Amino acid sequence: MIRAGIVGGSGYTGGELLRLLHFHPKVELAQITSREHAGRFAHTAHPNMRGVSRLKFVHPDRLEICDLLFLALPHGTVARDIERYAELAHKLIDLSADFRLESARAYAGWYGEAHPAPDWLARFVYGLPEVNRERLRGADYVSGVGCNATAVNLALRPLVCAGVLERAAIEIKVGSSEGGNKGNAGSHHPVRSGAVRTYKATGHRHMAEVQMVLGCEAEIRFAVTAIEMVRGVHLLAHCRLKETMVERDIWRLYRGQYRAEPFLRLVSGKLGLHRLPEPRVVAGTNFCDIGFELDADGRHLVVVAALDNLGKGAAGSAIQSLNLMCGFDETTGLEFPGVYP
């Protein structure tokens, strides 16, 4: 049993961590922090936990020593105080973007400022188990993942690893929770409701993670569009293959890459409504569903993927990484299959 805490627990990612860790049999969640809600029950910010959790928010200054800390703070915050957090816990999982990139130069290029703690970058392992499983085993410092980057990396990795992807043009549709729990002009209900608004057509920061994981040999571009959805990431990638392939070849690549992965599901049905991945089906879970259709010419492949931005795109991957860090079964605490309809 390990003793854990959540720093920055009032946001959506903090709430998802609270929900998942409460049912983790190997974790005692001992503390959760919030400046705004200090002294109040956690369920005041996360009403789904009413009658389930009796934890109260504590002020960050009152954090106590524990085995592991989840850092669910805004980007740029953790790196400026990393020494303090490392003194409070032997193991850290930072869900912000502060330690996702391996290079301080890349960080400055994508985030527009020098990294506050460049010497720490090499200490962190990128927390995507499907890519870094062996490095995560026994690691002390793990970064979170970008939800959009995770969708791209998992959807295209079999093609990139096989060397068959020439280029990919990707449309990613996202829900409103990706913007966090603080209101802004874009999330104002009369503006957000019913919207199909492309807000990042080029240059999304998550592209840095895609380049780090998949490399730059294949030309990969994506745009992000906000739609009428709360939780979820839906990816549709038009892929140009280097060679003519048949459907059996594509299945062989994806099954070969993901056959043993507990949270990757291949979805490409011939019957029914859900013949391709859909975010609603994976809401609240740590699954990423991936499917595809191959055009008649054999070189135009459409890949579709869906995940929960708060689950596999954030808290779920973080807990999957925790399991690897601590030697637990990788699926512990993450077995929830979602609800339908």
Active site residues: 147
Sheet holding 2-7, edge to edge: 57-58, 27-33, 2-7, 66-71, 89-94, 141-143, 125-126
Residue 212 CA to residue 190 CA, distance in Å, equals: 38
Return the residue matching tokens 């295209």: 156
CB of 164 closer than 8 Å to CB of 242 = yes
3-state secondary structure of 57: strand
Contacts within 8 Å (CB) and 24+ apart, 132-140:
133/324, 136/321, 136/324, 136/325, 137/324, 137/325, 137/327, 138/325, 138/327, 139/91, 139/321, 139/324, 139/325, 140/90, 140/91, 140/92, 140/325
Q: How far is 130 from 316, CA to CA, in rounded Å?
A: 13
The upper half-sphere exposure of residue 207, i.e. CA atoms within 13 Å in the direction of its Cβ, equals 20
